[in-house]
Structure 1
């Protein structure tokens, strides 16, 4: 009841006080969403304009990192930018381009997000600089229940056995940053084998790539993918990750299982609403059921003015967070605890994602999203090279560790999992 009252007070405060005290004006927002996702986000922003009178000039670009870096360097940043990961956000914190949001939200941030999501969004910094506009659940495997039965496996052995009946839907092409579908797999395996603490150390550059637990994760992924890759690795290396998944929807199926995050609900064909998923299960004694990787798109404030503050408050409020899932049929998810899950009515799979994100399990940020850019890019390349030639694993891990040792210590982030 106390949390509900806090959420209602926050929403009331936003409805009454989001509008700037003087002329509304126009603010600029930069984010990565284009196409249908961009249109959905523009409807979120339209809700803010209707509520406050502040007009929003939105720029959506898949090259958001490059555009933002150029704008900041030229002294003309957007008022608000939504970046795709906490690692990128923190680079602007360290260059003193972002304003803290601790006193912007109009209430206690922990009441809005809960301690776990607040900790993840703070990303190891002394203050809160980014709020999650949209979050995604990873550590899940999609399947088509109309064509293939799959119950939730309790152990890794059950998981490997249950998914051995059909090839995996696997594509590592994802321009302009191909390779991340492979790194997502390796991160997931390491998290579920070695546990959250080893995972955090690895993501923070404190655990060698040549260590046994990291090597084992790569080997486990390679063994799981061996049948799918076969003697034609070029096929999976050149197949787009979204196109690969369509094999689940065909009868007969060309592949049965897709390891991708909840963002795929916006990318699967319309028949994808019939899909279901299971969670990646524990594979080691230090891993509790419900342990999952997550990712988030984080809004940061590059100019401090009443309109920017009002938009940050709106984006964190249930009013702002419920627009996207409503207009998209349930393909967007929130870290805000008081979002009404009835926005997923008619899409039971989306509601299951939303409920899992709230279930109280241990959540860990995607490791490559926390790593310095140099390390992340090398990780992407190594995943591609490993599938092309698994026999080079030791060489690849040695090269990755050399890069790790060359990154200045202050560039790493240490973000704990869990509460």
Structure 2
């Protein structure tokens, strides 16, 4: 060993001994340094290929900061998050699609306001500033978004005289494909202002405009025998291969969100705005119902807020699109964001960021969870018995749930969703 090497080795040993001494002195305070990287946990709704694409992007965000990230994907997101909160061990970041749930978490003090960099990407209707305890703050930011006001048909199939494919089963959340129908009909028949009042609990369920949306849905579906009704109630919203394939030749058109394109990734399909099918008013054709997956911080660790900032940034979105297969490439809220490369995805992105004049967040996702769940159940019951007497009974029950939810909100920690958090122009 030469003299230069001995000097370098001696300095290294001196530094190590100093570090070790510092650790030993700090042991009693629990402050001894840990050489292991800190791991932040992200809880989200994606599993299978979707989950793998997101997880791959997440791992590639590691840039030597000493932080590592792990992803937990589950189809029972609400139940999993609730159990973790009750156990006092929430994830650092959770990705939710329900604004109603996010508002409740903010009121309960579970959420940490986001940093300024992330809030710059959070705008209505995806992520409004929320009034909580007298302050206006941003508590979540969209990671991916979807366009809902769409109708799918096999290419070459005429647009007119649709025979509708309907699958309402979705495990614990069965019924939501029907709520999408009613929401879309109300939006295009009565407009964004009425839709916003209804979504935020200001408009009764027994209001004639809301009631008409339910009966219009039944009229559009047409007469159905018991076998057809039972089949729709027990068929998954995606079917074994997508409803256009699973239920043919009995149906020709499907009302479904943009996410369904992954089922038809290798099929020749046509996707159109839903407005032309719903009997709405022409002045509301530029309004579209949308949904989003929003990231919120449940940890006091500043690194969790920094992670949300990175997840909502251009690099993460570029990586995510690159790691996802055709049909699974996500949509993002602004025209300048990376967008899907498949033909169907590009068409939908063009509507979302170009053609649309008003975007209205999924009304049932805006509603308090109790109202939303009752809405899901009522849709299933009405689909099985679409009579006027049955509808009046169901709407009365929903009004009772709406009133109880409003009373609970009044008694809870102050906080409400502004009207701009439901409908807004694209890009803020």
Instruction: Specify the alignment match of 2:158 in structure 1.
Output: 149
Unmatched tracts of structure 1, length 5 or more: 1-21, 151-161
- 384-393 or 281-290, which deviates more: 281-290
SS at match of 1:328: coil
**Structure-2 separation of matches of 1:250 and 1:74:** 42
Query: How far apart, CA to CA, are the structure 2 residues paired with 1:28 and 1:255?
Result: 43
* CA contact 2:244–2:252 (8 Å) conserved in 1: yes
TM-score (norm 1): 0.82
The structure-2 alpha-carbon separation of the partners of 1:323 and 1:255, relative to structure 1 and needing over 3 Å to count, comes to: farther
CA 1:287–1:205: 2 relative to 1, 3 Å: farther
Q: 1:340 aligns with which of 334, 338, 343?
A: 338
SS of equivalent residue, structure 1 residue 49 = coil
In structure 2, do the counterparts of structure 1 residues 66 and 329 end up closer, same or farther at CA, with 3 Å as the change threshold? Answer: same
The change in CA–CA distance for 1:248 and 1:286 in structure 2 (over 3 A counts) is: closer
1:237 aligns with 2:233: yes
Residue pair 1:169, 1:245 contacting (<8 A) in 2 also: no
SS at match of 1:120: coil
Match of 1:158 in 2: none
Q: CA RMSD in A?
A: 2.4
Match of 2:12 in 1: none
Rg larger for: 2
Contact 1:245/1:258 (<8 A) preserved: no
Judged with a 3 Å threshold, the aligned counterparts in structure 2 of structure 1 residues 362 and 251 are, in CA distance, closer, same or farther, namely: closer
What residue in structure 2 maps to residue 281 of structure 1? 275
Match of 1:396 in 2: 394
Structure 2: gaps of 5 or more residues: 1-34, 410-415
Q: Once the two structures are superposed, what CA deviation does each residue of 1:365-414 show, in whole Å capped at 9, x if it has no partner?
A: 10000111111111111101111111111111111112212223563745
Q: Which has more strand, going by share of residues?
A: 2
Q: Residue in 1 aligned with 2:359?
A: 363
User: What is the deviation of 1:329?
Assistant: 1.9
Alignment of 1:44-59 (within 5 A): 44-50=57-63, 52=65, 54-59=67-72
CA contact (8 A) 2:167 2:243 kept: no
How far apart are the structure 1 equivalents of 2:247 and 2:196? 41
Residue 92 of structure 1 aligns with which residue?
Answer: 105
Equivalent pairs counted in the alignment come to 372
In structure 2, the partner of 1:377 is 373
Hey, what's the Cα distance between the residues in 1 that align with 2:234 and 2:158? 29
| 2:61 partner SS | helix
1:120 to 119, 126, 145: 126
TM-aligned CA deviation for residue 323 of structure 1: 2.6
TM-score by length of 2: 0.81
Q: Distance in 2 between the 1:34 and 1:291 partners?
A: 31
Superposed CA offset, 1:231-290 (max 9, x none): 641111111110077352479743211111011123x15424x32211122745584322
8 Å CA contact 1:140, 1:279 repeated in 2? yes
Alpha-carbon separation, structure 1, partners of 2:67 and 2:358: 38
TM-aligned CA distance change 1:168 to 1:62, over 3 Å? same
